[in-house]
A and B are shown apart, each in its own frame.
Chain A
Amino acid sequence: MKKSILILVLALTSIFTFAQNEKYVSMMEKTVAEMEAAKTAEDYQKAANVFERISNAEGKEWLPAYYNALCNVNLASLAMRGGESDKIVPFVDKAQTALDQCIALVPNESEVFALQGFIYTSRIWADPMNGGATFSPMAHKAFGQAIALDAKNPRAYYLRGQLVFYTPEFWGGGPKNAHKDLAAAAELFKSFEPNSSIHPNWGIGGNAYHLGKAEETVKKEKEGK
């Protein structure tokens, strides 16, 4: 009898644990989809909040904190485009706090360093005239680390290409100089398979957009000559 109780308890616990894991995955899948469909700041904030809750409940998972960071960078980007430059830094700070959790959990994850580079890039938005001097080298270093950890991570190339794309030409930036990274990212996106349904699998659209612009510039230049 004692044995059967033990079995029963074990069985129930495993069902419970399994249910919990399924709940995690389904909740993550749902919220990732919401994030991908997000248009407004409210949408992103809602998704960020859900990721924060999951991250809080599932202390050992890095993905909820990763997406929380990503949502906050997107919020910073929306604030910048909406001309609310004083809101950028608080969002970026929040993104950095969330990403610090990721770095502690998975110190050798290429995706985390790619996002780190993106966070540094977003710090430039807050102060475009002066921020570049400090944060551009830091972003480049983080992208370099991401590529060193996984040379096939398309987001590392895409986000670096994007940074170069908006860097003035005389400092080696501009669409033409960004072409190489963006093209490399496009190639990697083609064969990219995420580790699971909830692992990072974003950026293909943004990359295609910037690559298109870069190709246009290259073409125009050739015609000009």
Chain B
Amino acid sequence: MKNFLSTFLILFFSLAGNAQVSITGIVSDKNETIIGANVFLKDTYDGASTDLDGKFSFTTEEKGTQVITITYIGYENFEQSIEIGSYDVEITIQLKAIANELNEVVITAGAFEASDEKKAVVLNSIDIVTTAGALADISSALNTLPGTQTVGEEGRLFVRGGAASETRTFIDGMFVQKPYSSSIPDVPARGRFSPFLFKGTIFSTGGYSAEYGQALSSALILNSQDLPDETTTSVSLMTVGANLGHTQRWDKTSLSVSGGYTNLAPYTSLVKQDLDWIKPFQGADGQIVFRHKTSETGIFKFYASGNRSWFSLNNRDLSDINKMNRLDLTNDNYYLNTSFKEILNEKWTLFTGLAYTYDRDVVNESFKVNTKEQSAQAKITLSNQINDQMSLRFGTEYMHNTFDEHFTSSDGTVFNTDLNEDYTAGFLETDFYFSSKLVARVGGRLEYSDILKSWNIAPRTSLAYKTSSKSQVSLAYGQFYQNPENDLLRFNTAVDFERADHYMLNYQLMKDSRIFRVEGYFKKYQNLVKYDTATPWMSSNQGDGYAKGVDVFFRDRKSIKKGDYWISYSFLDTERDYRDFPIAAAPTFASKHNLSLVYKHWIHKWSTSIGITYSHASGRPFHNPNLEGFNAQRTNSYNDLSFNASKLTNIGGNFTVFFFSISNVPGFKNNFGYRYSTIPNNDGVFEGRAVQPNAKRFFFVGMFMQIGEKFDKENTVKPPE
């Protein structure tokens, strides 16, 4: 027994004794040594930090199989079993960088993203509200990005030589049939949706995902807010109207109700207008937003809005520009969007959505038009994370559209149109991550249109490669199909989809708080609807065209303290032979050069943010019937310098913002084009008139107050010195 005891003691002391072994080595990334990595034996105190050369050295009394562990910020934890005997250990280890948003490759061709959640984006949501000249209108703010054309009399997005109808808006993945307020030619429309509804915006100027169809040029993808932070009441008063809203927040549910009234009469009576208003624009709207978290990961969203707007003015006759006719327009619009999203398990995510639109325009002039459009859509999408290298998304959607129009011409002729469309589509898309540097997205979309009695299959693919930790190159190709617009189908439905093919090459460099992007593209249009004005019912898909150009974007949030600016430049070369064009020509909305300079500055002392936007567009084509050629003339270039200021303050403990905005400060004389009488006068001359902004400048003054909002909310905290 004594023997046993001594063995035990010897064993004990040898374990606890000073038989130290030293462990040394180097920790590196692929190219560089890593300084400050934590190297240690798991579950022991033994370890060290790597020095300036990435070297480490420590001693241990542990023996046998041990796990050497290395941790370092931005890298995956490293673990490896080692045998420790009586000899020193030397080991060289390479750590693997964690694939995350900032260093992982992402497909950027065509897409501009504004988000508050992701870091690797071009804009934040707040940028949309604070861009001078945009007046918190989503489309106007996006018009300061490259790839867009300034078309001042329209107020819609024109992308890369495409018409406004070629850009489609989606809210939570669902089509928005009427994203803009109803208007008439030469009176700019405004977006129906407040930018505050959305947490993220993806503005794609081409090559977008197979999930989105029925858009030849561009997709504007808006993702709505989840649950609001807290219960609040807000009031805003503006020179053009007022808004009132209340949000109630419960644990897992929220309900917001808001309403507004707009009336441009007081404003138009103060500021001289180019248009001869009888009853300036008025509108009343209401919204209900409901959110419910169905589980930790599931959310149900409901949005409903109703809106009525109306105006009357003396409108220029289309056949004789010297003649004025009274025009009355009344629009009713209802929109419903519900969606449900749930992460089913580690692999599967489900999305379902339902949307409904009702829109009615009543126009009374010498002619009368009564247009009723309805649309109902259902959609289901599933995504599956197959493994780290591969993910799959697929879905299907169905939409029913009706277009019902009664047209009575001034001579009493009645023309009724009744169009019904049943649209079915499916898409499938796979992302392959070959490494954290190379990703490919391959997919396609299948569509069937009942009204066209036609189907199409549209392949889409993109590739992105990270050329360094800060830069990457993306490529994209895709086919895009869209139904001809209702104003073409009303004459003839025996036509096919219009088609555009996109080819894009993009380079992006993101460093510190600076972003540089350049993108070249080529877009080929085919199967565009073409007709002769005299026989529009004999239309065919014989039109075609192209658009090519370069878009450049630079944003710098670093060089100027408390200042932030971006520069966008677009070069566009486009021609098309479509609709009633006699020959291939640049359309009237396409200007060759577009430039935007946006500057924002925060003045801490006055708690005021100011913004300046300068926009320039080279001359736009127009057609002068008195001269040779088609669309051969060019307007003067367009220039605008807008200014805005917002002062943040408190009134009676309520968070309040005062804002002021003015467009065209220097008073540039802009015209958007010319309109000519379709019938020549007695001297055989087609008389023309410039299409001008409604007023030289637009002023806007308002205040926004959030009642019950605490002081410490939404603040700008300066870091400790």
The CA of A110 and the CA of B38, in the complex, are separated in Å by 29
* Subset of 20 A-B contacts with CB under 8 Å: A5-B5, A41-B36, A45-B36, A49-B36, A49-B48, A52-B71, A54-B45, A57-B44, A85-B512, A89-B119, A166-B720, A167-B716, A167-B717, A167-B718, A168-B716, A170-B607, A171-B648, A171-B650, A172-B650, A172-B712
Q: Which residues of A contact B116 (CB under 8 A)?
A: 130, 134
The answer to whether B649 touches A52 (Cβ under 8 A) is: no
The answer to whether B719 touches A57 (Cβ under 8 A) is: no
Q: Which residues 40-88 of B sit at the A interface, judged by CB distance below 8 A? A: 40, 42-49, 69, 71, 73-74
**6 more A-B contacts (CB under 8 A) besides A46-B36, A85-B513, A168-B715?**
A42-B35, A45-B49, A133-B715, A168-B717, A170-B648, A173-B715
The CA of A124 and the CA of B648, in the complex, are separated in Å by 19
B648 to chain A: closest residue by CB: A170
The answer to whether A171 and B713 touch (CB under 8 A), given A27-B45, A77-B720, is: yes
A206 to chain B: closest residue by CB: B720
Q: Which residues of B contact A91 (CB under 8 A)?
A: 73
- A96, CB-defined interface residue at 8 Å: no
Q: Which residues of A contact B40 (CB under 8 A)?
A: 49, 52-53, 56
Min CB gap A128→B, angstroms: 6
Interface size class of B (residues with CB under 8 A): 35 or more
- B602, CB-defined interface residue at 8 Å: yes
Instruction: Convert B89-121 into 0s and 1s, putting 1 for each residue whose CB lies closer than 8 angstroms to a CB of A.
Output: 000000000000010000000000000100100
The answer to whether B45 touches A128 (Cβ under 8 A) is: no
Q: Which residues of B contact A49 (CB under 8 A)?
A: 36, 38, 40, 47-49, 71
Q: Which residues 131-162 of A sit at the B interface, judged by CB distance below 8 A? A: 131-134, 136-137, 140, 162
Interface size class of A (residues with CB under 8 A): 35 or more
Q: Which residues of B contact A134 (CB under 8 A)?
A: 116
- B231, CB-defined interface residue at 8 Å: no
Query: Residue among A49, A137, A140 with the most chain B CB within 10 A?
Result: A49
Partner of B718, one of A1, A54, A128, A130: A128
The CA of A49 and the CA of B48, in the complex, are separated in Å by 8
The CA of A168 and the CA of B562, in the complex, are separated in Å by 14
Interface of A is mostly: helix
The answer to whether A137 touches B717 (Cβ under 8 A) is: no
Q: What 9 A-B pairs have minimum CB-CB distances, sorted nearest first?
A: A172-B711, A49-B38, A45-B36, A132-B715, A171-B715, A133-B714, A125-B719, A166-B718, A124-B717
The answer to whether B712 touches A140 (Cβ under 8 A) is: yes
The CA of A131 and the CA of B631, in the complex, are separated in Å by 50
The answer to whether A128 touches B38 (Cβ under 8 A) is: no
Q: Which residues of A contact B534 (CB under 8 A)?
A: none
The answer to whether A81 and B719 touch (CB under 8 A), given A53-B40, A56-B40, A170-B648, is: yes
Q: Which residues 42-81 of A sit at the B interface, judged by CB distance below 8 A? A: 42, 45-46, 48-50, 52-54, 56-57, 77, 80-81
- A214, CB-defined interface residue at 8 Å: no
Q: Which residues of A contact B47 (CB under 8 A)?
A: 49-50, 53
Partner of A137, one of B8, B713, B720: B713
B714 to chain A: closest residue by CB: A133
A41 to chain B: closest residue by CB: B36
- B229, CB-defined interface residue at 8 Å: yes
The CA of A134 and the CA of B713, in the complex, are separated in Å by 8
The answer to whether A90 touches B607 (Cβ under 8 A) is: no
Instruction: Convert A157-186 into 0s and 1s, putting 1 for each residue whose CB lies closer than 8 angstroms to a CB of B.
Output: 000001111111111110000000000000
- A218, CB-defined interface residue at 8 Å: no
- A33, CB-defined interface residue at 8 Å: no
- A94, CB-defined interface residue at 8 Å: yes
The answer to whether A53 and B38 touch (CB under 8 A), given A77-B720, A128-B717, A170-B649, is: yes
Q: Which residues of A contact B602 (CB under 8 A)?
A: 129
The CA of A124 and the CA of B607, in the complex, are separated in Å by 18
Q: Which residues of B contact A12 (CB under 8 A)?
A: 12
Q: Which residues of A contact B717 (CB under 8 A)?
A: 121, 124-125, 128, 131-132, 136, 163, 166-168, 173
Partner of A136, one of B43, B71, B513, B713: B713
- B627, CB-defined interface residue at 8 Å: no
- A219, CB-defined interface residue at 8 Å: no
Q: Which residues of A contact B655 (CB under 8 A)?
A: 171
The answer to whether A57 touches B607 (Cβ under 8 A) is: no
Min CB gap A223→B, angstroms: 20
Min CB gap A85→B, angstroms: 7
B44 to chain A: closest residue by CB: A57
- B1, CB-defined interface residue at 8 Å: yes
B48 to chain A: closest residue by CB: A49
Q: Which residues of B contact A48 (CB under 8 A)?
A: 38
Query: Residue among B47, B229, B512 with the most chain A CB within 10 A?
Result: B47
- A36, CB-defined interface residue at 8 Å: no
The answer to whether A23 touches B73 (Cβ under 8 A) is: no
Partner of A173, one of B36, B46, B712: B712
The answer to whether A171 and B719 touch (CB under 8 A), given A46-B36, A130-B116, is: no
The CA of A168 and the CA of B718, in the complex, are separated in Å by 8
The CA of A165 and the CA of B47, in the complex, are separated in Å by 40
Q: Which residues of A contact B650 (CB under 8 A)?
A: 170-172
The answer to whether A57 and B5 touch (CB under 8 A), given A130-B124, A132-B715, is: no
- B126, CB-defined interface residue at 8 Å: yes
A20 to chain B: closest residue by CB: B45
The answer to whether A124 touches B719 (Cβ under 8 A) is: yes
B711 to chain A: closest residue by CB: A172
Q: Which residues of A contact B12 (CB under 8 A)?
A: 12
The answer to whether A56 touches B69 (Cβ under 8 A) is: yes
- A86, CB-defined interface residue at 8 Å: yes
Query: Residue among A27, A94, A129, A166 with the most chain B CB within 10 A?
Result: A129
Q: Which residues of A contact B513 (CB under 8 A)?
A: 85
The answer to whether A171 touches B714 (Cβ under 8 A) is: yes
The answer to whether A162 touches B720 (Cβ under 8 A) is: yes
The answer to whether A171 and B712 touch (CB under 8 A), given A130-B116, A136-B717, is: yes
Instruction: Convert B695-721 into 0s and 1s, putting 1 for each residue whose CB lies closer than 8 angstroms to a CB of A.
Output: 000000000000000111111111111
The answer to whether B712 touches A167 (Cβ under 8 A) is: yes
Instruction: Convert B169-195 into 0s and 1s, putting 1 for each residue whose CB lies closer than 8 angstroms to a CB of A.
Output: 000000000000000000000000000
Query: Residue among B602, B648, B649, B712 with the most chain A CB within 10 A?
Result: B712
B713 to chain A: closest residue by CB: A137
The CA of A163 and the CA of B602, in the complex, are separated in Å by 20
Q: Which residues of A contact B69 (CB under 8 A)?
A: 56
B69 to chain A: closest residue by CB: A56
The CA of A137 and the CA of B713, in the complex, are separated in Å by 6
Q: Which residues of B contact A173 (CB under 8 A)?
A: 711-712, 715, 717
B564 to chain A: closest residue by CB: A129
Q: Which residues of A contact B48 (CB under 8 A)?
A: 49
Q: Which residues of A contact B74 (CB under 8 A)?
A: 90
A129 to chain B: closest residue by CB: B716
Partner of B711, one of A42, A77, A171: A171
Min CB gap A158→B, angstroms: 12
A130 to chain B: closest residue by CB: B124
